[in-house]
Structure formats: structure tokens, C-alpha cells
Chains A and B, each alone.
Chain A
Amino acid sequence: MDKPFDNRAWLLVLPAFLIVVFTAVIPLMTVVNYSVQDTFGNNQFFWNGVGWYKELLDPGSELGGRFYASLGRNFIFSAIILALEIPLGIVVALSMPREGWTVAATLVILALPLLIPWNVVGTIWQIFGRSDIGLLGAALNAIGINYNYVSNPFDAWATIIVMDVWHWTSLVALLCYAGLKSIPDAYYQAARIDGASRWAVFRAIQLPKMSRVLLIAVLLRFMDSFMIYTEPFVVTGGGPGNSTTFVSIEVVKIALGQFDLGKAAALSLVYNLIVLIVCWVFYTVMTGQRAEPGHRAEGGAA
């Protein structure tokens, strides 16, 4: 397992390193620069120090209020998404057919939502949920449920959550399916001989074998749901009111709508930091639980 130590390996990493520096570090520096300045109109910048950060972290201020409110929505949203998509994805993976043409057909249908441009996903659900021209909206109203995602915050949330489940559960299911496929038949045969119940087979064999892909699934789903922007923006535009305004939407609103670059930049950095910290916590907790000597630790971060 011991890899040789050789600093010339840097030469191989260098091209990738440079492009990521170009696409990530330079813009990030710009953001840092903005975040400590104030701007009035035509590119006139004034030093503002940590002023924006103070305001951002103060729930009493206008900016802070918006930040905490949208951050809260993000956490609630991600929690709901993980609670729904992870179990559902596992169940779907366990329900996959074993062989025959249905396997390929099922995989193709499952993967389809993952390859739809995100604003088209939004458009599909915007149409689907409308009570005048959408099947879902019309059907719900026909059976007496007064459903309208434009005016009712609860309906707006429900729509976005169902949309996200529609959009992303397949990713969890496909990852889990790949994990399940790697289990040799002998494990199931041994479990039958050992008299294991369906639940015991799941706990003793399937779940452990899926743990690596599940870690990837949880991290990816957390990151992407926490950074969600396009789909709710298309469907609800952040409304009704601010009920579906997530942090991403706030950032874009403040930066491009109000052109408050300093505020938007400070918000961006704090937001980015939160994503990193939460991912790190997930990673540490999930890998710490199953300390496996001999297994490489980098297995999960995505």
C-alpha cells in the first residue's frame, strides 16, 4: 500500500491545478475583495472592512434577517430532502429487477431526470403543477384540494420538494444499485443458511456493502440541495413572498438585482464556508462510525 514519495508528481497535477486556480481562486479573491468594500453606482468602491460581515451575522439588521431566514429554509429543505430521498432511493434500488430487458429499461428511465437541464426541470414542474394547464395541479383541484403553488407557501414548498425527489432520487437509487450489484451471491446464500430474516439480510449484508456509496449519495445530495438555485427560481421565483427564497437566490438577488456587490460577496463567502463545514461534519461522522483499518480514508468526499 505504500506509495513512493516523489515530488515530481506535482508536474502531473500542475495543469489541473492551474485551471482550478483560474476558475476558482481568482474569482474567489474577487469575492473576498468585494466583501470588504462598499460600492455606489459606477464602479466606485469604498473600504468597508468587516462591516458587511457584522451586518450579515446580526439577525437584527435587514441583511442579517434575510440571511438567517434563507439559511434556515436551506437547512429545513436539505433535511427534508435527505430524509425522503435516501430511504426512497434505497427502497428503489432494492426493488430493481435482477435480470432481463427490464433492467436496462428501468436504468434508462431512472437516469433520465438526471440529464435534464435544471431550468427545464423547473419548467416541467411549473407546467405540471399549474391548475389550468398542468396535470398535477388540475388533478389535485379536481379532487377538492385547493392547490396553488404561486399563492400558497405550503404548496410551493411541497412542489419544490416533490420536484427535487423526482429529480434526484434516481441518483441515490443508482448509487445504491451499483453497491448492491457488487455483493456476490454467496452472501445471500450464506444468509439463508444462517436463517437470516429479510431485515437481517438488509442490516448485515446490504447496508454495510452500500455504506460507501451511501456516503457519496448523502454528501452529493446535501451539497446540491443546499446549493439549490435554478429549479425553485424557475418554479416559484423564491415566492410566494420569500417563502422559497434560498441562500443562492438571495445571493443572486442582492448581487445582480440590487447590485450590492459587497453584501452579496460577504453572504457568498459565509455560505460557501457553511457548505464546507457541514460536508466535513457529515464525512467525519459517517466515516468515524465505521472505522475500518486498512480501508483508505478518502473514499467518500465528492
Chain B
Amino acid sequence: MARIDFEALAHSYAGADAAPESYALKEMTMTWRQGGAYALLGPSGCGKTTLLNIISGLITPSSGRILFDGEDVTHLPTEKRNIAQVFQFPVIYDTMTVAQNLGFPLKNRKLAPDKIAQRVAEIADMLDLTSVLDRKATGLTADAKQKISLGRGLVRADVAAILFDEPLTVIDPHLKWQLRSKLKALHRALDMTMIYVTHDQTEALTFADTIIVMHDGRIVQSGRPADLFEQPEHTFVGHFIGSPGMNFIPAEIDGTVARLAGQTLSLATRYPSIPAGTKVELGIRPEFALLTHGPDGLRVQVDRIDNTGRARIARVRLGGCKMSVTVHNYMTLAGSDAFVRFNLSKIHIYADSKRVESAHG
């Protein structure tokens, strides 16, 4: 059980002398609170696995410190850190039974056999593995193997945090949901810090209470799932969260008027803090932009309309800028001319990809 702090932490695989832009993980200071369920979300190569490996101690950071409950563990080896990790592909010890697999970390730590057996029984019960305890672990299904990997982490009473590195990659789709619910239930029952790496936003949104979006070695935003959806701090988050992603339209802002591709739009508020000389964009989620017959709203050309199952989404062009907008079920369209109406309270303005505060705060 622990709070984890990063102090000016950074890592480069090329060594500390490498150019700062080439760092796999740019300098960051942050706190992971005890008992939190975090999801680290980002595309491949964004540094999320590096971050995970720094927490578990498989990598020593090039600079900065990492603290567990205020104690510096930066140079402590993995085995002294009380971290459990579940990998992308199930790691099980082939020659051992399920029970021996679960007891392995305790055996390595020289616990008495009866203590081990007792603890293994508890964990097996928690993970529904009791019925297969005496089977060889090799013969089991992928989801059972992942549960064993997890169990080897849980079996240690002193575990500070459990790290998951895309643990559902090899699990059958219909079992993913089950396993995820199991994780969620375990998190509630055990009050442990859990950090879950994934590139799948659905997994992140359903598992975590805090989502951390990473991009190019940086944390671009962290917050509750709803915050990330409604108020992306960075255009990357807007693109990455949501399906389809947020629309960004190059804009000029003048008081409460926005000029978009030659048309004007009245905004609900002012943005006095836009820095001069930056690239300004207006961001609006497809969920908050509606296709209409007009006459008010912005004039657009409709390319096509997709039915995603949950909703109908129109792919439209506003001047040269492509957008996705919501189409009501009853709406029919003749020709390709139409209008789009924005929910003004859901508009955000971005300067050089970063969100700009409005006059209301």
C-alpha cells in the first residue's frame, strides 16, 4: 500500500546526455495516490511502458527520483520494491502447478510452507482458481494464465502497487469484459494502487478512476474519464479519446466572434488569454455538433453518412476542413448541402494545441 511520487523524473535509453527531445520519457513530477485505479493511455511508443518499467524498477531513470510513501526507491532493484506486474503475454512457470506458480514469490522469500499454502488458498479463492490448483499451469486457457500472473502479485501481502501492461491483449473478446470486471472488483476489495497500461480507450474508461493520457513521452492530461471527454486539455487528447475524435477547425477569434473558413460563429464567451502569434483552433466533439437543414448554423458539404450502431455520424467539410457531426435518426438529406449547429457551451479554443481558458474560467 503506497503513494508513489515522481520528482523531476526523466528517462532516455541513449543515456542521460542525450538531447532532451529524444528522451523516451520527458521530465515529469506527479503523484499517484494510494488506492487509485489509474489507466495509462496512449499510442505505441508514447513512453507508457517505459514509465511502468521505471515504477517496477526494471529500468533506472536517467534523472529524477521515485518515492514510495516518501522513501526514495530510485535505485532499489525490482525485487525489493513490493511491486507486482502483469505482462502483455501471460508469464507462467511451465513445470509448476497452479499452486506452485502462485506460491513462487513467497517461496523465493523463504516463507514457511504452511504460510505459503494458506496464502495461496486465499488468493486462489479470490481469483476462482481453487478448482485448478493442482493442475499444471501450461494446459490452462490464456485468461486463467493471466489470473495466475495476477495472483503471483496479489499473493504477497506487502504489495505496494500492481502494474498491468496491456494484460488483455491475448484474451478472447468475450472474456475480456469478465476479467476487467474481476479487476475492478479486486480493486474495490483490496484498496491497492493499480496502474493499467493500454492503448484501448474503452478498457481505460471502464477500468480507471483516473486516466492519464501520454503522448510523445509527456503526460498531456490526467483526470476523470468525464473530464477527458468534455474538456480535453490538448488536441491530442481530443483526437485520442472518443470515437470518432474531437473536431478541430482552424479559427480566428475576435471578441465573441469566431471566423471559420470564411463563415462566422457567435461564441458564448470571450477568450482574452489567447497568446499572439499562435495557431488557433476551435474544438467541438461530434456529439455536440448537429447536422440540420438550416438556415442557421454553419454551411457544410456532406460527404457521406455512417451508421456506427449507437448513432449516425455525418462526414462533412467546412471549407477545406473535415469534420464529423451527429445526425438525428429522423433526418433525411437531399443533395450534399446542409448546416451544422454547435452546442456553444461545449466549444473549446486551442492555441498551439493547448486549451485556452475562457473569460468565465
- Asked if A and B form a direct contact in the complex, defined as CB atoms under 8 angstroms apart, the reply is yes
Residues of A within 8 A of B (CB): 184, 186-187, 189-190, 192-197, 200, 204-205, 207-209, 290, 292-294
Nearest chain A residue, comparing its CB with the CB of B152: A194
CB distance from B204 to the nearest CB of A (A): 21
Q: In the complex, are the beta carbons of A204 and B56 less than 8 A apart?
A: no
Q: Which of A186, A195, A197, A293 contacts B91 (CB 8 A)?
A: A186
* Given known A290-B95, A292-B138, A293-B139, contact A194–B105 (CB-CB < 8 A): yes
Check: B109 CB closer than 8 A to any chain A CB.
Answer: yes
- B88→A186 contact, CB < 8 A: yes
Q: Which of A193, A195, A293 contacts B85, CB < 8 Å?
A: A193
B93 within 8 A of A: yes
Those of B117-176 within 8 Å (CB) of chain A = 136, 138-139, 149, 152-153
Could you name 25 residue pairs across A and B whose Cβ atoms are closer than 8 Å?
A184-B91, A189-B56, A189-B58, A189-B78, A189-B85, A189-B87, A192-B58, A192-B77, A192-B79, A193-B78, A193-B84, A194-B104, A194-B105, A195-B79, A196-B104, A196-B108, A204-B96, A205-B93, A207-B95, A208-B94, A209-B94, A290-B95, A292-B136, A292-B139, A294-B139
Chain B residues within an 8 Å CB radius of A292: 136, 138-139
Judge if B89 is at the interface, Cβ distance under 8 Å: yes
Residue of B whose beta carbon sits closest to that of A203: B95
Scoring B residues 239 to 279 as 1 if CB is less than 8 Å from chain A, else 0, what string do you get? Answer: 00000000000000000000000000000000000000000
Whether A186 contacts B87 in the complex (CB less than 8 A), given A192-B79, A204-B93, A209-B94, comes out as yes
CB within 8 Å of A: which B59-115 residues = 77-79, 83-85, 87-89, 91, 93-96, 104-105, 108-109
Q: Is the CB of B109 within 8 A of A190?
A: no
CA of A294 to CA of B95, assembled, Å = 14
Can you name the residue of chain A whose Cβ is closest to the Cβ of B94?
Answer: A208
**Chain A positions within 8 Å of B105 at CB level:** 193-195
Report how far A184 CA is from B149 CA in the complex, Å: 15
Residue of B nearest to A294 (CB): B139
Question: Which A residues are CB-close (under 8 A) to B153?
Answer: 193
A292 to B136, CA, bound (A): 9
Give CA–CA (A189, B95) in the complex, Å.
18
| Chain B residues positioned under 8 Å from A209 (CB to CB) | 94
Q: Given the complex of chains A and B, what is the CA–CA distance between A110 and B94 in angstroms?
A: 30
- Please, which residues of chain A bring their CB within 8 A of the CB of B89? 184, 186
Once the chains are docked, how many angstroms separate the CA of A205 from the CA of B96? 10
- Asked whether B95 lies within 8 Å of A193 as measured between CB atoms, the reply is no
Q: How large, as a class, is the contact surface on chain B? A: 20 to 34
Distance of A194 Cα from B58 Cα, bound (Å): 12
* Partner-A contacts on B (CB < 8 A): 53, 56, 58, 77-79, 83-85, 87-89, 91, 93-96, 104-105, 108-109, 136, 138-139, 149, 152-153
Distance between Cα atoms of A207 and B95 in the complex (Å): 9
Complex contact A204–B87 (CB within 8 A): no
- A residues in contact with B84, CB < 8 Å: 193
Docked complex Cα distance between A24 and B53 (Å): 58
Q: Are B77 and A200 in contact (CB under 8 A)?
A: no
Measured CA separation A201–B18 after assembly (Å): 34
- Neighbouring A residues of B96 by C-beta, 8 Å: 204
Whether the Cβ atoms of B108 and A197 lie closer than 8 Å is yes
> Closest 4 A-B residue pairs measured CB to CB?
A190-B91, A195-B108, A186-B87, A194-B105
CA distance A204 to B92 in the complex (A): 9
What CA separation (Å) do A189 and B94 show in the bound complex? Answer: 16
Chain B residues with CB under 8 A of A204 = 93, 95-96, 104
In the complex, which residues of chain B have a beta carbon less than 8 angstroms from the beta carbon of A190? 85, 87, 91, 149, 152
Q: Closest B-chain residue to A197, C-beta based?
A: B108
- When distances are taken between beta carbons in the complex, the residues of chain A under 8 Å from B136 are 292-293
Q: How far, in angstroms, from A294 to B105 measured CA to CA in the complex?
A: 27
Q: A204-B95, A208-B93 are in contact. List 10 more A-B contacts (CB 8 A).
A: A189-B78, A190-B87, A193-B79, A193-B83, A193-B153, A194-B104, A194-B105, A195-B79, A196-B104, A197-B108
Best-buried of B105, B109, B149, B153 by chain A (most CB within 10 Å)? B105
Determine if A195 and B109 form an interchain contact, defined as CB atoms under 8 angstroms apart.
yes
Q: Which residues of A contact B78 (CB under 8 A)?
A: 189, 192-193
Shortest distance in angstroms between B137's beta carbon and chain A's nearest beta carbon?
11
Query: Complex Cα distance A39/B253, Å?
Result: 112
Residues in chain B near residue A290, CB distance under 8 A: 95
Chain A residue contacts of B79, Cβ below 8 A: 192-195
Most chain A CB within a 10 A radius of its CB, from B56, B87, B139: B87
Q: A193-B84, A195-B105 are in contact. Are A187 and B138 (CB under 8 A)?
A: no
Cα of A46 to Cα of B83 in the assembled complex, Å: 81
Q: A200 near B108 (CB under 8 angstroms)?
A: yes
Per the bound structure, the CA–CA distance linking A207 and B105 in Å amounts to: 18
A293 to B137, CA, bound (A): 11
From residue A204, how far is it (CB to closest CB) to chain B in Å?
Answer: 4
CA distance A35 to B109 in the complex (A): 64
Q: Is the beta-carbon distance between B104 and A208 smaller than 8 angstroms? A: no
A207 to B93, CA, bound (A): 11
Find out whether the CB atom of B108 lies under 8 angstroms from the CB atom of A194. Answer: yes
B113 to chain A, nearest CB (A): 16
Q: Once the chains are docked, how many angstroms separate the CA of A290 from the CA of B93? A: 13
A88 to B87 CA separation, bound complex (whole angstroms): 33
Q: Which residues of B contact A192 (CB under 8 A)?
A: 58, 77-79
Question: How many Å from the CB of A215 to the closest CB on chain B?
Answer: 14
* Chain B residues near A195 (CB-CB < 8 A): 79, 105, 108-109
How many angstroms from the CA of A122 to the CA of B87 in the assembled complex?
51
Q: In the complex, A205→B84 CA distance in Å? A: 18
Q: How far is B136's CA from A293's CA once the two chains are assembled, in angstroms? A: 9
A195 to B96, CA, bound (A): 16
Task: Point out the residues of chain A lying under 8 angstroms from B53, CB to CB.
Answer: 189
**Separation of A246 and B77 alpha carbons in the complex (Å):** 54
User: Considering the chains assembled together, what is the distance between the CA atoms of A194 and B84 in angstroms?
Assistant: 8
How far, in whole Å, are A190 and B149 apart by their CA atoms in the complex?
9
In the complex, A100→B342 CA distance in Å? 58
**Which residue of B77, B78, B149 has the most chain A CB atoms within 10 A of its CB atom?**
B78
